[in-house]
Structure 1
Amino acid sequence: MNDRLVLIAAQPGKPVLPVPTRERWQPLRLGLVELFHYDSEEFWFRDGHLLLRGNNGTGKSKVLSLTLPLLLDAQLKPSRIEPDGDGGKKMAWNLLMNSYDRRIGYAWIEFGRIAEDGAPRYLSLGVGLSATAARPQVDSWFFLIEDADDAPRISQDLWLTSAQRVVLTRERLRDALEGRGQLFDTAASYRRAVDERLFHLGTRRYDALMDTLIQLRQPQLSRKPDETALSNALTEALPPLAPELLGDVAEALGQLEEDRRQLEEYQALARAVGRFEERYRAYAGTQ
């Protein structure tokens, strides 16, 4: 696949794995194992950025659709995975490709940061996928390799294939992660764990963040924007107001209502005084 897709930011061969340079989490690597035309491929970031260059049809968009925001969103719907939202592009095809009867694959991403003690910390997220030609449903499981002093790094301390280059099953991965990471059977528990470690947003705001990312990554967004959907996504992404602030606003609105009532009373009094003045002037003019 290397002759079909040129990756900028990684060097050929087996260089030392990238290390973080910031105190905040930044992406370091992402990888695909037995997905699409990739047997086992890594893509390295530089300063948190990744540049993919190649002719049309070489797989640039496919790399992103199989990694981000999938590895954060954990939903396999075509509308969530494919940039164009085409419902006909099923995840099963990315595995079987009309050529396999059964296939297991993985997508993963590694983040890194500098801890307060100056030591690098790593956090890896991944999804395992399994499809068979006999059924359209794709089985999925998710994993997280913890942020710790001795956290294993994929392709250095932990491999997603065996020594015979056979892709690990869910059970084999569970054994490999024992004591070093977590395996999640549901997308909801995986999303919650990702949010707790990377974003600290809470369920509602995390869902809004994923919806926003999916809206913004649409191809040619500026040519055919969905203003309503984008506006709704951006609105949902706003942080919720604090209860104390809502209480202050409610109190201010209540005070405005009281002020309106008093103003109406003053206006009615002013009108009454005006009528009295007119009558009194008329009375005084006759004396």
Structure 2
Amino acid sequence: MTTDARALVPLPRSGPATAAGTRFRLHRAGIQNVWQYDEQEFAFGDGRLLLRGKNGAGKSKALEMLLPYLLDGDSRALDATGTGRTTLAWLMLDGFEQTNRLGYLWVEFRGTTDGGDHRHLTLGAAIRASRSTQKALPTFFVTPLRVGEDLHLVEGGKPLPVDRLKEIVGSDNITDRAVMHRSRVAPELFGITDATRYRNLTQLLHRLRRPTVGDRIEHGGLASLLSETLPGLDEDVVEKVARNLHDLDAVRDELGRLERTDTALRTFLTSYRGYLSGVLRTSAQAVSRELEVLAQRRRAAGDAAQRTSELRTQEEESEARLETLREEEEAARTDLAALHDSHAYRSLHELSEHRSTVEAVHTAAGAAFTALSNAHGAEEGAAERLADGVEHLGSRLAELGTEHRELLTQAEMAGLPTGHLGEAVALPRTVRSQTVETQLTAPDGETHTVQQRSVVRVDTATVQDGLGSWQLRPGHALPDGPTLASALRPAPQPGCGVTAEQVERLLTTIALAPAAETAAHDAVYHDGSWRLGILSGRHHKADA
């Protein structure tokens, strides 16, 4: 048979816990495979435990098995009524058919160190029962290990063997004797070194847990109960308490004075509290404003710190980049020096010089081609002017020939001598060169066709000599114009064929002949010199 664990419910704390200093307080307790409990754990609230449940649920049995049994190990005092009906053998074997049975009882205390940390102390007993002997023997242990965390009392679905318990908690922390168990619990849990005093304490606990303790309190037996269980007071303590009793009147007067002072202070504080509230409100507002300013400055400082961090990162990146660029510059300088010393660079330098020379030659060729083009244009113009001059000279000589023939005819018709008129002058021409077309390539690669006209040479000396023969020869001088005109104006001979108008025209022509001769001579001379200059220039151009 097992007890429903839901029947025993610890009540929660109703209020805040009081300060407990550093002493131990009940924290947890548990029953493992003892009586009708398979496995039950109880949690204490600030050292207190309240069990609720129906009658027969096992509340009293749970307390009998745990406290104060685990404090003194006295199995004879398990029964709270003092009748001795509850024994370990009965708890372990009643209602069970097992030959041997092992169970555990344990309680955990928790204290606080000076540093504020928790410390724990676990008191427990392993109960081994044998049906053949009808006995149950306890093995007590005291350890700082915590059940369920550092110490597990169930192993493989069965209670932990005692031998394994000794290995875990240590053989020095385990004993089969109750007196040795009490000698460990008294100093470690309560700080009591007097065995008699600790024995009186446990006896008081046994008496206080009896069901009839309430009756004794109601009948005034509490004082005698405490006298029976607690040790007597020291005489010095009694004397000190008596002296304090004599001073009660003075204490009462002092208490009254303090109460009046308290009333006055309360009245004063009621008014002063409003003043302080205003001052505090003003101070709080000022503090609030300062806090806002502080928050703004902290944000600004945070932003500045972040900006500083970013700038430092950028600076580091820039320094790294600068170092890399310096290394690259050094490598580039080394490569440049090696390039300058290389044969390819020298060849490139020579190529650059050749390119400059070629460019200069190209420029000179362009200038020469331009000059050649200009010279050819000038030559074409000169040739055209020469051709025009030769044509003009030929036309003029033809006109002179015609006039010469007319003069001869008129002179013959007039009966004048014709010897002084000389012979008609022809224009002797000689072709020096034929028309030639030449293909020229410009510096830009474009091909130009240059056409040179045929050149005709005029023998100007022969023309001059012929014209000079027209001058009047010595001994054949004619009378001057007016005289000759007067001689010829009389009535002409009929049938001579020369009219007066013809005579006048002949005379005019004869008068103008020297001027015409001079003009023809100048024209021939000018045209010949110009032609010679052109030819000389062309030869110079060709040489260039």
TM-score of the pair, normalised by structure 1: 0.71
Number of equivalences: 227
Alignment CA distance shift 1:24-1:104 (3 Å):
same
Sequence identity, in percent? 30
Aligned to 1:219: 211
2:82 is matched with: 85
Q: What is the aligned partner in structure 2 of residue 274 from structure 1?
A: none
Question: Are residues 1:197 and 2:188 paired?
Answer: yes
1:283 alignment partner in structure 2: none
Q: Please, which of 95, 113, 116 is the counterpart of residue 92 of structure 2?
A: 95
The one of 176, 183, 188 equivalent to 1:185 is 176
> Which residue in the other structure is 1:7 paired with?
9
Q: Deviations over 1:201-241 (max 9, x none)?
A: 31000000111111111113233679889836634422574
Report what 1:52 is aligned to: 51
What's the RMSD between the two structures over aligned residues? 2.8
Q: Which residue is 2:164 aligned to?
A: 172
Q: 2:21 touches 2:112 (CA, 8 Å); kept in 1?
A: yes
Q: Please name the residue that 2:265 is paired with.
A: none
Matched-pair contact (CA < 8 Å) for 2:24–2:110: yes
Amino acid at match of 2:119: R
Q: Check if 1:117 corresponds to 2:115.
A: yes
Quick check: 1:34 aligned with 2:33? Answer: yes
Counterparts of 1:4 and 1:117, CA distance in 2: 38
Higher radius of gyration, 1 or 2: 2
Deviation at 1:170, TM superposition (A): 1.9
Paired with 1:112 and 1:196, the residues of 2 have a C-alpha distance of 15
For the residues of structure 2 that align with 1:31 and 1:63, how far apart are their CA atoms?
9
State which of 142, 148, 167 in structure 2 corresponds to 1:155: 148
- What is the CA distance between 1:156 and its match in structure 2? 1.2
Residue 191 of structure 1 and its aligned partner are, at CA, apart by: 0.3
Correspondence list, 1:193-272, <5 A: 193-201=184-192, 202-223=194-215, 231=224, 234-238=227-231, 241=234
What's the counterpart of residue 128 of structure 1? 126
Aligned-partner Cα distance in 2 for 1:239–1:222: 23
Once the 2 structures are TM-superposed, how far is the Cα of residue 8 of structure 1 from its aligned partner? Answer: 2.1
Structure 1 gaps of 5+ residues are 11-19, 147-151, 246-287
Report the CA distance shift for 1:4/1:90 in structure 2 as closer, same or farther (over 3 A).
Answer: same
Query: What letter matches 1:160 in structure 2?
Result: L
- Which stretches of structure 1, 4 residues or more, deviate above 4 A after TM superposition? 224-230, 239-242
Note closer, same or farther for the CA distance 1:9–1:92 as it changes in structure 2 (3 Å cut). same
Alpha-carbon distance in structure 2 between the residues aligned to 1:229 and 1:118: 38
How far, CA to CA, are the matches of 1:220 and 1:5 in structure 2? Answer: 25
CA displacement at 1:83 relative to structure 2: 1.0
**Residue identity opposite 1:101 in structure 2:** T
Which residue of 1 is the match for residue 23 of structure 2?
Answer: 24
Range that drifts further, 196-205 or 44-53? 196-205
1:230–1:109 CA distance, 2 compared to 1 (3 A): farther
**Amino acid in structure 1 at the alignment position of 2:153:** L
Please, which runs of 5 or more residues in structure 2 have no aligned partner?
13-18, 237-544
Give me the whole-angstrom Cα distance separating, in 2, the residues matched to 1:132 and 1:230: 44
TM-superposed deviation, 1:3: 5.1
Residue aligning to 2:423: none
Q: Which residue of 2 aligns with 1:258?
A: none
Tell me if the contact between 1:27 and 1:109 (Cα under 8 Å) persists in the aligned partners: yes
Q: Deviations over 1:13-38 (max 9, x none)?
A: xxxxxxx9752211100000101111
- Note closer, same or farther for the CA distance 1:234–1:172 as it changes in structure 2 (3 Å cut): farther
Look up the equivalent residue of 1:118 and give its one-letter code.
Answer: G
Contact 1:9 1:44 (8 Å CA) reproduced: no
Does 29-38 or 198-207 show the bigger shift?
A: 198-207
Q: Deviations over 1:32-64 (max 9, x none)?
A: 010111111100001111110000000000110
CA offset digits 1:247-276 (Å, max 9, x no partner): xxxxxxxxxxxxxxxxxxxxxxxxxxxxxx
Matches within 5 A, 1:264-283: none
Contact 1:142–1:183 (Cα < 8 Å) also in 2:
yes
Residue type at the aligned position of 2:10: I
- The structure whose RCO (Cα within 8 Å, separation 6+) is larger is 1
Structure-2 separation of matches of 1:74 and 1:203: 14
